[in-house]
Amino acid sequence: MLTKLKDFVKIHLNDILIVTAVILISLFSFAAGYLTSDYRQKEPIRIETVP
């Protein structure tokens, strides 16, 4: 069974790498967008002076 898995990975290595890269890039893009939108929704800091 393990030899079949090794053979499968050897045959389809390029496809596995491409799919893994696409998934990682998609996750990174989502995380970057989420962090950016979270940053912009915060209210700005207000400095008020007391008379």
Percentage, residues of the chain above pLDDT 70: 90
The length of the chain in residues reads 51
Position 29 pLDDT exceeds 90: yes
CA distance 35 to 19: 24
pTM: 0.64
Cα first-last separation, the chain:
80
Whether the CB-CB separation of 9 and 16 falls below 8 Å is answered with yes
